[in-house]
Structure 1
Amino acid sequence: MRNVGVREISRRTGFSPATVSNALNNKRGVNKDTAETIRRMAKELGYERSEHLDHIRFVLARKTGKILDEGTFHPGVIEGVERVAAQLKLQTTFTTIELSNREAAAKQAFEITHDMSNGIVLLGTEMAEEDYVLFRDPQAPLVVVDGWSDRLFFESVVTQNENSAFRAVTYLAEHGHRQIGYIAGDYRIKNFPLRERGYRRAMREAGLTIDSKWRVVVGTTVNTSYDAMKEWLSANPPLPTAFFVENDIMALGCMRAMTEQGIRIPEDVSVVGFDDLPYASVCNPPLTTARIPNREMGEIATHRLMDQIREPRDYTCVTHLSTTFVERQSVKFLQS
């Protein structure tokens, strides 16, 4: 059988690759005569949809690097992907798509999503809604990890962001904290507004006041979060008894700035993070946080790819994984 792809059929028929893809997959919107012409050419060229994968492709979609470059979340996802791929006797390959270069990203995304020999695990951490358009109507099986589209339907594996933040802030309230601030990243990935929504819901249900003076916006790297917190503290503001921080990287930078200013953690202010990155257990003090099951996310995503091959269906699922709340020494228990 010849290795014929969508681009070759497009070249032979004169129709766009998108039209060819839609016709071969019986999508609506393709003229009947056009679809018949495309299918006839595909048959003449020996085109057949692959019923097995040669490899799993892990695609890191990078927009700014402000979240991914210092994070250790995605190596855990990769480990999970590789573990299941090895069990299936499949190789794992890696591709980075720089979303800031739209033209190059669009070309890369099309080639990857129309390569029927690969199954795609797409890391969506830094992806915004407009970026998912590049991956619409994939011909290869595709699962998004740590991301989702509100307008397009993709199989996705994500974290329960809102409920996890709700539980973390409720934990603070149950241990006597009444003044709980929020440390937000200045680069707003899709996870962060959900975590803030969980914070706000927990505050409301605990009957606590959300004070805007304790919403501190910082950078999303260790150094930029440190710099922003140091600047905020320079005005000698009143402190809440606790902060919930959108992720552990920001928590580390902020804790460093607080410590340098003589603020004791947790005696003067408690801190709760999100992610449970490796350093969270060894920083000073060890950080109370919500652990994301990143390896399991990679494993589940790879199994979902195989499901798309074995049992194709005309709908997609979004799988929400819960977090594990990890209590360490960065929280002081106050009297209720």
Structure 2
Amino acid sequence: MATIKDVAKHAGVSTSTVSHVLNKTRFVSEDISVRVQAAVKELNYAPSALARSLKVNHTRTFGMLVTTSTNPFFGEVVKGVERRCYQQGYNLILCNTEGDVERMHSNLDTLLQKRVDGLLLMCSEVEGKEFDLFTRHQPVPTVVMDWGPIDFPSDKIQDNSHHGGYLATRHLIEQGHKKIGCLTGPLDKLPAQQRLSGFVQAMEEAGLEINKDWIVSGSFECEGGEIAFNKLYERGPLPTALFVCNDMMAMGVINTAHKKGLSVPEDLSIVGYDDIKLAKYITPSLTTIHQPKHRLGQQAVDTLLDKIQSKRESNQVIQLEPTLVERDSVKQLQ
């Protein structure tokens, strides 16, 4: 493999001249530039990204820790992150944590050993826990995305989950529903807590009774919706409508209700949350709360770049606002 010294020797110039030609850091005559470029092409020389990163003290690489999940929400956010990294000339190293704190620390060790310029965290297993991510390493600029440690000192990009829960429940009320239940995500997770609090606020404002038997928690997966709905079904008479705190759970509910001979929305109206791409294509298509997933990913990258370039020490919280998307899973009552 050719080195910069080989290129310099072949072109009859110094190594610093080769560097200036390749990096455009100083004026070099056209004749010499042509000779250097010809030598680079003939010797098939490729500059060492590692050597350059050591010299300039940055790698133009970000690391991202994300919880592995069947929920397409994560994939859609990661797509936004990858696209923005590409647009800004950065590489992305993606690590799945598998919901395991030990694996998260192992991945973190690997990323920091590779000298990433910054970190993006979207791993729910560390949420609400007090610990220092950088016990064994020098801290690097970090952005927490939606899910993640609440008390961790970093920039944060968050969905306004309380308002989203409020919008979902308010829509059901406006369609004439008074008997409304809520299938939440795991209540040790902040998004689930906030979506439930939004549900409670909308119900209280409307003067409607909150039946505790109609509030059931589950995991943010299809199976979580299935299990939660089965628990609700066993408790007796059903509400006319449910706010289900994410789309994956909502799909599990629709499938389970169908197996029990119930029709959505004729027998049971449902509003989901996230607006994953599949929500539009299931039957019935799902009325849901839209999270700007691509913008969440892009904003996280932009915030991380701002943190690095401005060298600011203060941390900021950026909140993205959800919106209601009306489809076919809610019946209007007279």
After TM superposition, the score normalised by the length of structure 2 is 0.76
Distance 1:326 1:87 in 2: 29
- Give 1:173 deviation, angstroms: 1.1
- Letter matched to residue 90 of structure 1: Y
Identity of aligned residues (%): 29
Matches within 5 A, 1:178-327: 178-186=178-186, 188-230=188-230, 232-233=232-233, 235=234, 237-327=236-326
Change (3 A) 1:253 1:81: same
- Give 1:265 deviation, angstroms: 1.2
Change (3 A) 1:126 1:73: farther
CA contact (8 A) 2:186 2:192 kept: no
Distance 1:186 1:163 in 2: 18
Matches within 5 A, 1:16-35: none
> Once structures 1 and 2 are overlaid, which stretch shifts more, 286-295 or 107-116?
107-116
What residue number does 1:151 align with? 151
Distance 1:99 1:214 in 2: 29
Note the residue ranges of structure 2 that are not aligned, 5 or more in a row.
Answer: 1-53
> What SS is found at the alignment partner of 2:182?
strand
- Give 1:133 deviation, angstroms: 3.0
> Once structures 1 and 2 are overlaid, which stretch shifts more, 198-207 or 209-218?
209-218
Distance 1:208 1:332 in 2: 19
Distance 1:255 1:270 in 2: 10
Distance 2:114 2:130 in 1: 19
- Letter matched to residue 56 of structure 1: F
CA contact (8 A) 1:73 1:277 kept: yes
- Give 1:317 deviation, angstroms: 0.7
**Post-superposition CA distance 1:5-55 (Å, at most 9, x none):** xxxxxxxxxxxxxxxxxxxxxxxxxxxxxxxxxxxxxxxxxxx99664421
What residue number does 1:84 align with? 84
What residue number does 2:61 align with? 55
**Post-superposition CA distance 1:239-279 (Å, at most 9, x none):** 11110011111111111111121212111111000011122
Structure with max Cα Rg: 2
What residue number does 1:9 align with? none
CA contact (8 A) 1:243 1:271 kept: yes
> What SS is found at the alignment partner of 2:302?
helix
Change (3 A) 1:99 1:72: closer
- Give 1:128 deviation, angstroms: 2.0
CA contact (8 A) 2:59 2:115 kept: yes
Distance 1:207 1:168 in 2: 16
- Give 1:131 deviation, angstroms: 6.4
> What SS is found at the alignment partner of 1:253?
helix
What residue number does 1:94 align with? 94
- Give 1:154 deviation, angstroms: 1.1
Change (3 A) 1:241 1:135: farther
**Post-superposition CA distance 1:149-186 (Å, at most 9, x none):** 44332111110100111111111112211111011235
What residue number does 1:18 align with? none
Aligned residues: 280
Q: CA RMSD in A?
A: 2.5
Distance 1:294 1:193 in 2: 20
> What SS is found at the alignment partner of 1:129?
coil
Distance 2:275 2:220 in 1: 16
What residue number does 1:169 align with? 169
- Give 1:118 deviation, angstroms: 2.6
> What SS is found at the alignment partner of 1:274?
strand
- Give 1:141 deviation, angstroms: 1.8
Distance 1:299 1:308 in 2: 14
**Post-superposition CA distance 1:107-159 (Å, at most 9, x none):** 54355357544321111344322166325786322111113544332111110
> What SS is found at the alignment partner of 2:118?
strand
Change (3 A) 1:135 1:192: farther
Note the residue ranges of structure 1 that are not aligned, 5 or more in a row.
Answer: 1-47, 63-67
After TM superposition, the score normalised by the length of structure 1 is 0.76
CA contact (8 A) 2:99 2:124 kept: no
Distance 2:202 2:130 in 1: 32
- Letter matched to residue 333 of structure 2: L
Distance 1:330 1:49 in 2: 58
- Give 1:297 deviation, angstroms: 0.8
